[in-house]
Amino acid sequence: MRHSSTVFLKTLCLSIGTVLALSACSTTTMSSPRSGTDPYDKYYGQTTAQSSDVVDSGSIIVNPSAPQTYTVKKGDTLWGIARKFLHTPWHWPEIWDKNQRVANPHQLYPGDVLTLDYAGGGSGNKLQPRIRVDQRGQGEPIATLAPFTVWPRVLDEATIKNAPYILASRDDHALIAEGETIYVKNLRNTQVGERCAIFHPNEALHDPHTGALLGYEVTYGGFSRVERVDSTSTATVLDAQREIRKGDRLFTAVDEVDQLQGVIHAPTHKVRGDIVSLFDAEEIAGNYMVAVINQGIRDRIEVGHTLGVYTQGRYVVDEVESCKKKSGAVCSQLPPEKVANLVIYKVTDRVSYGLVMDASREVRNGDQIGNP
């Protein structure tokens, strides 16, 4: 009988604690990780020393299903090939055999044959994975990442304000379609026949920690060709990838595909940041979506850097501690989890753009950025 009473009291305590804790934990504010203060900081990836001669074999994880040989095909990407051989594709440069004639691990052509073997020379005389290439390919080299046709930008207010803008279309449509004639104001230093990219101004982006304005996001809508330059210029919409409206801005076209040739590598310094915008996704993104982060040139971010995307752990009820203290709910935060990789393809002073890769679950606006 005494045993039954004890069990009953413990059960009652846990039930009451759970009810109280559910309310308290649901209002707990999650804080973003800060180096040196976050108990889970180490979960956001750590730096690994990189050298052209010595590789930390412990950080290189070979894909168990990696082929012994692979022939590069047209349409392949360097990231995709590295993923075939490694679970840590950002270590591709380190496993490249530097004693072979082809010194550049990022210069591959359709038809080239890659071979995976193992060689000594690592710490503790451990065998290390090594990639060799038999040059049989021709044509254009493969890209690091798959090309895509929509390119967000983050610009300052003055640049957007002073840019040429669409006054109206010939028939004054609210949504302007491909092939329509548009009338443009403020078009300067532009030649007839020149192509201009059309962008739509979006929201302001702020640093989630400091509140500082990072810039204004603009999204790509299509291309136009200038037909006449005057106080009110004329152009033709050649390609409409998205809705084009009055007030959209025109900028000189930039071949962003060149940005996809970056050298894949992991940063050698500690990286901590946040996703501040997901392109074409209000809250959630997946593979091959573009994410904007609040880290840039001033933070030593480089094109080709592979970063980790981490989601913060939920706050949950610690039922045992709640019962012990008898003073209300005790909440504990679960550790963060890595949910994707982010390969940086463009860097500006304050923000960088990356492509979400290898997502194991949804990537959300506000997720944390760390080392891979």
Domains in the chain, please, with CATH? 59-118+139-144 (3.10.350), 154-252 (2.40.30), 272-370 (2.40.10.410)
Q: Is 50 exceeded by the pLDDT of residue 6?
A: no
pLDDT in tens, 116-146: 988 765 555 567 888 999 988 888 888 777 6
Q: What is the pLDDT of residue 280?
A: 63
Average pLDDT over all residues of the chain: 82
> Does the pLDDT value for residue 17 go beyond 50?
no
* CB 308 within 8 Å of CB 370: yes
| pLDDT of 314 | 85
Q: Which pair of tokens denotes residue 311?
A: 């989601």
Are 247 and 198 spatial neighbours (Cβ–Cβ below 8 Å)? no
Task: Quickly state the pLDDT bin for 103 (edges 50, 70, 90).
Answer: confident
State the pLDDT confidence band at 151, using cuts at 50, 70 and 90.
low
Largest CA distance in the chain: 96
pLDDT of the residue at 256: 61
Quick check: 71 pLDDT over 80? yes
Given a cut of 70, is residue 27 above it in pLDDT? no
Number of Cα atoms under 13 Å in the Cβ half of residue 152: 25
The rounded distance, in Å, linking the Cα atoms of 303 and 263 is 7
Q: Which of residues 318 and 295 earns the better pLDDT score?
A: 295
- Mean pLDDT on 10-31: 49
Helix locations, the chain, DSSP H: 2-26, 78-85, 92-95, 157-162, 319-325
Q: Is the pLDDT of residue 309 over 90?
A: yes
Surface-to-core class of residue 276, CB atoms within 10 Å of its CB (0-12 exposed, 13-18 middle, 19+ buried) = buried
Other beta carbons less than 10 A from residue 219's beta carbon? 20
pLDDT at 33 over 60: no
The pLDDT of residue 267: 93
pLDDT band for 51, please (50, 70, 90 cuts): very low
**If you average pLDDT over residues 60-88, what whole number do you get?**
90
99 vs 19 pLDDT, higher one: 99
Please write the tens of the pLDDT for every residue from 196-229: 999 999 889 999 888 999 999 888 888 999 999 9
Q: Is the pLDDT of residue 48 over 70?
A: no
> Residue 237 has what pLDDT?
96
What average pLDDT score do residues 88-95 get?
88
C-alpha to C-alpha distance for 126 and 121, rounded to whole angstroms: 7
* pLDDT (0 to 100) of residue 351: 93
- Write down the pLDDT at residue 35: 45
322-340 pLDDT, tens digit each: 777 766 778 888 899 999 9
